[in-house]
Amino acid sequence: MREMLEEKLARFQELERMMSDPAVMSDSNRMASIAREHGSMAKLATKYRLFKQLAKEVTEVREMAESDDPDERELAEAELPDLKKRREKLWEELLDATVGGEDAARSRCVMEIRAGTGGDEAALFARDLYEMYTRHAEMKGWKTEVMDAHPTELGGFKEIIVGFAGEGCYRELQYESGGHRVQRVPETEAKGRVHTSAATVAVLPEPEDVEVDLKPDDYEV
């Protein structure tokens, strides 16, 4: 994410330089094209510049908090929470602007956890993932609902589908999509051999409810 933002900022700065280049300014078509690209990136670049400045200030204030001067420490400890809060809020805005768009702000999503290679141990790993995500949801104050589940005899899951509801749940959980793997000694392994198990996770935003008014003429019985 940071690497991508750095690339976009570098491109934005390059466009700024190009817009002041006499050779570009003399070519109206090229200038118009560059100006359009520059304008489309301006909001994101400005936010990221501010984020970098806030991140720098947080680092500096943290160093002040370790000062031998008690007055300086007190000042730093008073400033740090607000700086960190502003930095985190700006980072969330950057996430919304770059990954997921409107979907990232959705407060409802659905997660499918499916056991992969590894037999019973993979199903137990899928259960562990389910428990980890639901514990995280509980800590965040989100609501969870098991929508479908295919348990195994050992207490694992071949597949389980869970709904999450709460502020920012999709923004956080969307990055869990993909393959997950664990290497460990199963409880059922008598010889102490390490097994590799896999599971896949898919996270999708839950569609918003849409009200549709139907008139008698719109349908047939």
Residue found under tokens 């348990």? 151
Cα-Cα-Cα-Cα dihedral sign, residues 12, 14, 17, 18: negative
Closest CA to 113 of 215, 199, 209: 199
Count CA atoms closer than 13 A to 183's CA, side-chain side: 2
- pLDDT confidence band for 162 (50 / 70 / 90): very high
Tell me the range of 65-74, 90-99, 161-170, 189-198 where mean pLDDT is highest. 161-170
Assigned token pair, 123: 């199903």
Please name each of the domains of the chain with its CATH number. 2-98 (1.20.58), 105-205 (3.30.70.1660)
What confidence tier does 112 reach under pLDDT thresholds 50, 70, 90? Answer: very high
Phi, psi of 110 (to 5 degrees): -125, 135
pLDDT digit string (tens) for 5-43? 888 889 989 998 998 888 888 888 888 888 888 888 888
CA distance 122 to 85: 39
Tokens of 65: 């908090």
| The pLDDT value given to residue 92 | 80
pLDDT in tens, 115-156: 998 888 999 999 999 999 999 999 999 999 999 999 999 999
Query: Does position 210 have pLDDT exceeding 50, yes or no?
Result: no
Q: Is the pLDDT score of 68 beyond 50?
A: yes
Tell whether pTM > 0.75. no
- DSSP-assigned letter for residue 26: T
Cα distance from N-terminal residue to C-terminal residue, the chain: 53
